Amino acid sequence: MDHSAEYTKAKALPQLSTTLTPDVFIAGSGPIGATFAAELHRINPKLKILMTDIGGLDTAVPGSHKKNSIDFQKDIDRFVHIIQGDLSTVSVPVTNVPVTNADPEVFLPWYEDIKVKIGTDPNGRASKWFVRNNQNPEQKPEFNLGAEAVTRCVGGMSTHWTCACPELHPELERPRLEADDDKNNAEWTKLYKRAKELIGVGDTQFSESIRHQLVLDTLIKEFPAVGQIPPREFKALPLACERDTDDPRYVTWHSAHTILKTLGAALKVDEEEVVRAGDFFELYPNTRCTRVWQLPNKGEIDFVECTRLRLGKVDTNVQVKAKVYIIAAGAVGTPQILANSFFAKEQELPALGKYITEQTMAFCQIMLYRDLIAGVREKPKPEWQKRVEDHIRDFPLDPIAMPFDEPEPQVTSPISKEHPWHTQASYSNQNSRRIHRDAFSYGKVGATIDSRVVVDLRFFGRNDPVETNTLTFSNIHRDGYDMPQPTFHFQMTAHSRKESGLMMADMTNVATKLGGYLPGSEPQFLEPGLALHLAGTFRAFQPGTKANPPNPSDNAKDFSVVNENSQVHGFTNLFLGGNGIIPTAFAANPTLTSMCYAIRASTVIAEKAK
């Protein structure tokens, strides 16, 4: 398709200022966009970096975690509503149930006389339903990831994420970056080490907690690693946070801001809410990255078109000309920008939005057995004894002998080939188990139940990447930000469905070792998409493997969007980042792995942006 007319028109768009000519442009201010910025600055401090985010500054400290507020440290259950408010569902099928009891004279679009006036869709069907707030006439409910959502603000989902940062299993989950096994393992070891340093990952932040030790000790006793065949491991969950040294009751949860702090210059916000660090970094919030523009007849991006959405610059189109362009706007937002761009036929991306994966999620809440709670009072461990005695002295009427602000448990059972139900599954579908007490968009503890006795169990299962599972973008409908409306077509394979059943059985087995079910939170599968770990939407090529999933074509472009360095196929200066890049099925949290891809790509990008 010839886009010369559109290109000429876009070239004439007014620039916001002469300062928008950076060396590197980054769309997206979440932890992956922040990783690109931090690594590029570390490699070459002279690079000028410009970042945009479609969302605003929701926190006083740009991109910081909202759970650091003292309100939520005191009462974690209140954080549920923060998460619910921050998540915007991506695709909502329109209802086909008419409102028949309304006043006959109000506007109801299915009346015959109105159909003629409002026209028909491209298939000749009359439009009957209201389309707003991401309602999507193209979405078939049975194929939807109904709970899939995005967060639009500076820092993205890292402003409210769980901060869980496990590594993907090298054989069961992790993608390949190098064809040679030794080189591949060495590369991942190096990248994971750097990613953990950037976001600040540890596994001892909750080791002193009575609740944490109680749950961990119980599970180790019930599932002994020694003498059990095959063995099973329970250990502390790796978390991106740090316990405050001045007051150990509180935790500082890490986020995109943690990474941006490594830029080495203070983040300052001006009167138009532009965030700056020194003279080398700018972040424009409330700024939509609309599309990238390809140079005619070349596999090169000439500029990116953005729109400032407020602060006196309403609908102000902006051209940003850079040497290198990075789109890290999320698993939905990144392919959405590409789908809204104009590419020459030879640069089109056939694998965009194909082979998508999303985790199956099983959930329950249990109330700890009475003998476990009684044991805290009657047989406290030496490291607990003083806290238990002080609490009994200060609160003699409290039936639970542990401080009210005792930190929650954070325990995981990592993926392992030796685990029984893993052993019963094939190599391509594994599950991770995470046991912890935390707030999310489900599982709010009732006011009549003491949260100190409640533990959440969340089991995440993998889904096989298949070509028929897709994320597409409408040529007709637009979302609330005037971008192409996303539509899902997602179904689990027979293999994944079977594995999910085994996962549920395993979760109930673990649950019964700890306690009884909290009424209303019995074991259940949650709505597809609620894990919020969508991947594969712009998947990476894996060196040393055949097309994954198998594809008869030898053309990497048919089954991947970027190469192993996150560079878009057919383009010299366009790179992508985020969970959408992960091409394999995985069950663990993907953020750390996506950061690894960004760290690796930054070396290549820095060279191109000299």
Question: Residues 553-571: pLDDT tens digits?
Answer: 457 888 999 999 999 999 9
Mean pLDDT, range 125-139, rounded to an integer: 74
Q: Which residues does residue 92 pair with via DSSP β-bridges, in sequence order?
A: 135
What's the whole-number mean pLDDT along residues 422-436? 34
pLDDT number for residue 210: 95
Q: What pLDDT, on the 0 to 100 scale, is given for residue 413?
A: 87
0.75 surpassed by pTM:
yes
**Helix axis angle, 181-199 to 591-608, nearest 10°:** 100
**Residue 572 neighbours by CB distance under 10 Å:** 13
What is the predicted pLDDT for the residue at 448? Answer: 75
Whether pLDDT at 425 is above 60: no
- Neighbour order of strands in the sheet with 49-52: 267-269, 275-277, 281-284, 49-52, 24-27, 324-327, 574-576
d(CA 22, CA 28): 16
> What's the pLDDT at 309?
87
Distance (Å, rounded) from C-alpha 152 to C-alpha 64? 14
C-alpha pair distances (Å), 365 with each of 207, 223, 449, 478, 507: 22, 20, 12, 39, 11
Task: Identify which has the larger pLDDT, 179 or 129.
Answer: 179
Asked whether 454 and 436 are in contact (CB, 8 A), the reply is no
Mean pLDDT over residues 445-452, rounded? 74
337 touches 291 (CB < 8 A): yes
What is the rounded radius of gyration, in angstroms, for the C-alpha atoms of the chain?
25
What does each C-alpha distance from 423 to 420, 508, 534, 548 come to in angstroms?
Answer: 5, 18, 25, 22
62-108 pLDDT, tens per residue?
999 999 998 888 877 788 788 888 899 999 998 777 788 888 888 77
pLDDT of residue 313: 55
Which pLDDT score is estimated for 352?
97
pLDDT of residue 545: 76
E strand or H helix at 273, and its extent?
A: none
DSSP string, 274-311: -EEETTTEEEESSEEEEEEEEPTTSSSEEEEEEEE-ST
Give the residue-averaged pLDDT of 447-465.
87
Could you tell me if 356 and 537 are in contact, meaning their C-beta atoms sit under 8 angstroms apart?
Answer: yes
pLDDT-derived band at 134 (thresholds 50, 70, 90) equals confident
Nearest to 555 by CA among 349, 331, 363: 349
User: Span 371-386, mean pLDDT?
Assistant: 94
Positive or negative, the Cα torsion across 324, 328, 331, 336? negative
Rounded-to-integer distance, Cα 343 and Cα 298, Å: 10
Q: What b/e sequence results for 265-302 when a residue is b if at least 16 CB atoms lie within 10 Å of its CB, and e otherwise?
A: eebebeeebbbebeebbbbbbbbbbbbbbbeeeebebb
What pLDDT is attached to residue 37?
98
Average pLDDT over residues 107-118: 66
CB 22 within 8 A of CB 49: yes
The predicted pLDDT at position 499 comes to 86
Q: Is the pLDDT of residue 430 over 60?
A: no
In this predicted structure, what is the pLDDT of residue 271?
85
Q: Which residue has the higher pLDDT, 129 or 599?
A: 599
Q: Looking at residue 239, what DSSP letter applies?
A: E
SS3 state of residue 501: helix
**What was the pLDDT predicted at 75?**
78
Listed residue (473, 434, 470) closest to 455, CA to CA: 434
Structure token pair of residue 218: 């119980």
Query: Can you tell me the distance from the alpha carbon of 36 to that of 602, in angstroms, rounded to the nearest whole number?
Result: 6
> How confident is the model over 306-331, as a mean pLDDT?
85
The band of 433, judged by pLDDT with boundaries at 50, 70 and 90, is: very low
Residue of 68, 533, 548, 563 marked active site:
533
Tell me the helices (H) and strands (E) count for the chain, helix number first. 14, 26
Active site residue 589: yes
In the predicted model, is pLDDT for residue 115 greater than 60?
no
- Assigned token pair, 258: 């943690």
Rounded CA separation 24/606 (Å) = 9
Does 533 participate in catalysis according to the annotation?
A: yes
The model's confidence at residue 530, banded by pLDDT at 50, 70 and 90, is: very high
Q: What confidence score (pLDDT) does residue 373 get?
A: 96
Q: What is the three-state SS of 104-136?
A: CCCCCCCCHHHHHHHCECCCCCECCCCCCCCEE
Buried b / exposed e along 347-377 (16+ C-beta atoms within 10 A) = bebebbbbbbbbbbbbbbbbbbbeeebebbe
What pLDDT score was predicted for residue 103?
87
Domain ranges of the chain: 25-89+142-608
Per-position DSSP letters for 427-462, written without gaps between them: TT--EEEEEE----SS-PPPTTS-GGGEEEEEEEE-
Q: Look at domain 25-89+142-608 and name its CATH class.
A: alpha beta
DSSP bridge partners of 256? none
pLDDT of residue 544: 83
- Worst-scoring range by mean pLDDT, 103-107, 320-324, 471-475, 572-576? 103-107
The DSSP output letter for 88 is E
Q: What is the pLDDT of residue 426?
A: 20
Taking residues 411-432, report their average pLDDT.
Answer: 48
Q: What is the pLDDT at residue 272? A: 84
The pLDDT score that the predictor gives to residue 318 is: 85
Give the mean pLDDT of the chain: 86
DSSP string, 142-208: GG--TT-EE--BTTGGGGT---B-PPPPTTTTPPPSSSSHHHHHHHHHHHHHHHHHHHTEES-TTTT
Structural contact between residues 430 and 422, judged by C-beta atoms closer than 8 angstroms:
yes
Average the pLDDT over each of 308-317, 323-332, 460-469 and give the range with the smallest value: 308-317
Q: What angle do CA 582, 584, 588 make, to 5 degrees?
A: 80
Confidence check: pLDDT of 366 > 60: yes
Q: Is the peptide bond preceding residue 549 cis, with omega within 30 degrees of 0?
A: yes
pLDDT for residue 94:
85
Higher pLDDT: 245 or 230? It is 245
The band of 547, judged by pLDDT with boundaries at 50, 70 and 90, is: low
Distance in angstroms (rounded) separating the CA atoms of residues 192 and 180:
18
The answer to whether residue 306 scores a pLDDT higher than 60 is: yes
Helix (H) or strand (E) holding 10: helix 4-11
Alpha-carbon distances of 229 from 165, 218, 303, 420, 494, rounded to whole Å: 28, 18, 59, 8, 28
pLDDT for the residue numbered 424: 22
Q: Is the pLDDT of residue 484 over 80?
A: yes
Q: Which residues pair with 201 in a beta bridge?
A: 240
Mean local confidence (pLDDT), 165-192 = 95
DSSP class of 383: H
Q: What is the pLDDT of residue 312?
A: 58
pLDDT number for residue 438: 55
* Percentage, residues of the chain above pLDDT 70: 85
Residue 313 tokens, joined: 């610059």
